[in-house]
């Protein structure tokens, strides 16, 4: 851990270097009048909107929509199977069926899904979740795009695992944008000391708008879980058509949310934007790129990180930069040599190539005081958003 002490409160960083833009955002966070104790920066951190991805911010009495982000509740699910191996051709067939069962990218289900797949119709105080319910019920059980994925993996425990990374689809974005606009308007009315160009407009937790955001945010976190859960059920059905396997209960974690927690003797709002809760003994999921290992970990409950760890490997270059600079043949060769069934076919898909991401082994090493490795997972086949 490195500590920067030039701002109002310290910035504690579990990485050796960070891009200039992200460091500027961290300084803005550290000078917020309601920021608590220190800022924690995970080893996968990189530039975001207002707050870096991989950042952990604790606040007193205030909540910041941009410190949660637009994909509220985005996170991971894993499920252990009873399989120890799978023939390559059978895995190809299963991956093909998964692609047919789970819409990816901007695609939604053609048919309305069952209401039981949703968090429920007891809507929170705000207006967005109720308004968007009719669209969201066609989106539940869909992967989305960007860095979202479905992966079949071989575990260091000898078992095959299934992993899903996805979020709250358009519902979370609508909630985030709605309350960020409200926060911007109110902050201007209050003559907030936080400059608008910092993109850190805030809402008091006890205000009508703050309470509404918290309730709708929590609904989105639950929707994101329901989304991953339904995908896992459909993926399990694809496996059962080709194998006689069984499944252990799924493990779910979110890495984009704010939650009231007790730290350093006070109740504070912990904003994790691309960061995972790592209480003592708590299971975390830290994925690598589609050409590298992922890790199941157990938290050590380190108070200096507000009991948090990284949410993945983290990008080392932007999407456009990856498309411009990475060598398509080389990225394909690296995964083909490992025998990974992947979907990289053109330069347009280089934004999610392994070369666009940090070395996951280094990321894990930098947080050895935050988590212990439980299971290492090696990719066998990938479906990307």
Q: Are 269 and 258 in contact (CB under 8 A)?
A: yes
Burial of 360 (0-12, 13-18, 19+ CB in 10 A): buried
CA distance 202 to 186: 9
Say how many C-beta atoms besides its own lie within 10 A of residue 110's C-beta: 7
Max distance between CA atoms of the chain, in angstroms, equals: 63
Q: Are 125 and 212 in contact (CB under 8 A)?
A: yes
Q: Which residues are catalytic?
A: 311
CA distance 309 to 56: 9
Q: Detail the DSSP E strand segments found in 81-159.
A: 149-155
Token pair, residue 309, equals 């760890």
CA distance 47 to 14: 15
Angle, CA 305 vertex, CA 304 and CA 306 arms, to 5°: 90
Q: What's the full length of the chain, in residues?
A: 385
Query: Which DSSP letter does residue 304 get?
Result: G
How many Å separate Cα 268 from the centre of its chain? Answer: 22
């Amino acid at each position: 851990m490195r500590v920067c002490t030039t701002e109002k409160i310290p910035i504690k960083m579990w990485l050796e270097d960070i891009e200039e833009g992200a460091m500027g955002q961290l300084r803005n966070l550290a000078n917020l009048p309601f920021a608590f104790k220190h800022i924690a920066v995970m080893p996968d951190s990189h530039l975001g909107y207002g707050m870096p991805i991989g950042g952990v911010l604790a606040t007193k009495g205030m909540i910041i929509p941009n410190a949660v982000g637009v994909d509220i509740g985005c996170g991971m699910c894993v499920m252990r199977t009873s399989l120890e191996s799978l023939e390559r051709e059978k895995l190809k067939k299963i991956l093909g069926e998964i692609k047919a069962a789970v819409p990816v990218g901007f695609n939604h289900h053609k048919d309305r899904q069952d209401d039981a797949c949703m968090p429920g119709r007891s809507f929170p105080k705000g207006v967005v979740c109720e308004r968007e319910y009719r669209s969201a019920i066609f989106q539940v059980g869909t992967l989305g795009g960007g860095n979202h994925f479905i992966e079949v993996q071989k575990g260091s425990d000898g078992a095959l695992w299934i992993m899903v990374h996805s979020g709250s689809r358009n519902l979370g974005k609508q909630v985030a944008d709605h309350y960020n606009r409200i926060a911007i308007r109110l902050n201007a009315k209050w003559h907030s000391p936080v400059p608008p160009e910092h993109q850190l407009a805030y809402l008091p937790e006890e205000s009508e708008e703050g309470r509404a955001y918290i309730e709708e945010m929590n609904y989105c976190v639950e929707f994101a879980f329901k989304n991953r859960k339904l995908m896992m059920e459909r993926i399990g059905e694809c496996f059962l058509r080709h194998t006689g396997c069984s499944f252990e209960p799924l493990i779910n974690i979110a890495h984009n949310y704010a939650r009231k927690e007790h730290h350093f003797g006070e109740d504070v709002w912990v904003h994790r934007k691309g960061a995972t809760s790592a209480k003592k003994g708590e299971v975390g999921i830290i994925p690598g790129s589609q050409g590298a290992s992922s890790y199941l970990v157990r938290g050590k409950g380190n108070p200096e990180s507000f009991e948090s760890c990284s949410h993945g490997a983290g990008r080392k270059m932007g999407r456009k930069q990856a498309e411009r600079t990475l060598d398509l043949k080389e990225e394909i060769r690296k995964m083909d040599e490992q025998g990974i069934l992947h979907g990289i076919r053109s330069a347009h898909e280089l934004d999610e190539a392994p070369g666009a991401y940090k070395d996951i082994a280094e990321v894990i090493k930098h947080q050895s005081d935050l988590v212990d490795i439980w299971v290492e997972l090696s990719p066998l086949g990938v479906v990307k958003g």
